[in-house]
Structure 1
Amino acid sequence: MAIEIERKFLVKNDNWRSLAPGKVYRQGYILTLDKITTVRIRVIGEDAYLTIKSKTEGISRNEFEYPIPLDDAKIMLDTLCNRPLIEKIRYKISLDNLVWEIDEFKGENEGLILAEVELNNENQDIFLPSWVGEEVTHDLRYYNVNLAKNPYQTW
C-alpha cells in the first residue's frame, strides 16, 4: 500500500512541451456502491494496471496498484468501465527532486491540461514552474474519476 499525496494545477502555457516525451494513457472507472472508493483500469502502451484508491483526506489517500494482463484490462475497459473513458497523453518531467505529470486530455476532455505532483508530505514546499497555473487540488471536477462522469467539454 502507498499513500498518494498529490497537488493538481492547471497548465497556463506550453513552456513544458520540450521537456519530456509523452505516453498515451487509456483508463476507465468501475462504479462502486459507496462512491468513495475508486477502482481504475489503466492501459499504458503494453502495460496494464488495476488501481484502487480510498477517499481523499486533505490531499492524501490510500492507493493500491497492481499490474494485470493487458488482454484482461482491454476487456474490462470495453465491458466494465463507465463511459466516457479517459484518454490522455502523459508527460513526466523531473524538476527539483519531484516528478511533475502533465496530462493533456483527449476525447471528451480535449482542451484540458493538468499538472500533478506527488509529495512526500502534505506540507512539503514546492517550487512552481513557469507553466503551472491555478491550483485545483480541492476542485473535485478535476479528478479523473469525475472527468469520466462529467467531461470537461460539458462544463
Structure 2
Amino acid sequence: MALEIERRFLVSGDHWRSHAHRARAIRQGYLSTGNGDLTLRVRLAQAPDGAMEAFLTLKLPAVGTVAASASAGQALTRQEYEYPIPAIDAEALLERSAQQVSKTRFSLDLPGGDWVLDVFEAANAPLVVAEVELERADQAVAIPAWCSREITGRRDLSNAALAHRPLVAWPAAERDSLLLPRSD
C-alpha cells in the first residue's frame, strides 16, 4: 500500500523563492470526489524541458485513520495510488472534467522531507501553499517563517475542494480572512 503523509501550509510573501527550483506547470482535473473518502484525479504536468507527463491518481483515507482528523501539527495520512498514463489520455480526461485547478509547482531545497510549493492560478490566485511529504506521521519538521499558517486537514483547501469551489467563489470576507496576514 502506498501512503502519502503530508503537512500543508499557507505561504506569505516571496522569501520562499530563494529555495525554489524546477518549476512545473500543472493542470489537474477531478473525475470523482466523495466526502473526503475517495478522490480520483488526472494530472498533466509540463516539465522544465517541455516534456509532458500525465498521471491518474486515486486517494483514499489510510486504513485505521480518518482523513479529517489531521489538524495543526499533525500529518494527514492517505493511501495514494498513482499511475503514469499517456498525455493524450490525460488531455481527453481533462476535457471531461468540469472541476480543475491550474498551478505552478516548485520543488524546494528544504530539509526534513520532500517540500513543494504550489502557486495557484486563475480562479484560485493568489493562493500559495507549501507542503511537505514525510516518511512518518510523527516526523519533526522545521517550518520556514514564510509558512504563515498550517492548513493540514482543512478540506476546503484541498486541491479537489478548490477545483469544486475556487477562491474566486468564496465570499470576500472569508477569502480575506484566509489570505491577509493575521495579527496573532
TM-score, structure 2 as length reference: 0.78
Q: How far off its partner does 1:35 sit?
A: 5.8
Residues in 2 aligned to 1:12 and 1:33: alpha-carbon distance in whole angstroms: 31
Q: How many residues align?
A: 153
Residues in 1 aligned to 2:140 and 2:32: alpha-carbon distance in whole angstroms: 35
- Would the aligned equivalents of 2:42 and 2:54 in 1 still touch at CA under 8 Å? yes
Query: Per-residue displacement from partner, 1:26-78 (whole Å, max 9, x unpaired)?
Result: 00001256762100000011100000000326410100000000000000000
CA RMSD of aligned residues (A): 1.6
Residues in 2 aligned to 1:98 and 1:138: alpha-carbon distance in whole angstroms: 18
- Would the aligned equivalents of 2:19 and 2:110 in 1 still touch at CA under 8 Å? no
Which residues of structure 2 form unaligned runs of 5+? 47-51, 62-66, 71-75, 171-184
Q: How far off its partner does 1:19 sit?
A: 2.5
TM-score, structure 1 as length reference: 0.92
- Would the aligned equivalents of 2:32 and 2:41 in 1 still touch at CA under 8 Å? no
- Would the aligned equivalents of 1:31 and 1:82 in 2 still touch at CA under 8 Å? no
Identity among equivalent pairs (%): 39
Aligned partner letter, 1:16 = W
Aligned to 1:49: 55
Aligned to 2:182: none
Larger Rg belongs to: 2
Q: How far off its partner does 1:131 sit?
A: 1.5
Q: Which moved more, 1:9-18 or 1:28-37?
A: 28-37
Q: How far off its partner does 1:12 sit?
A: 1.4
Which stretches of structure 1, 4 residues or longer, exceed 3 Å deviation after superposition?
32-35
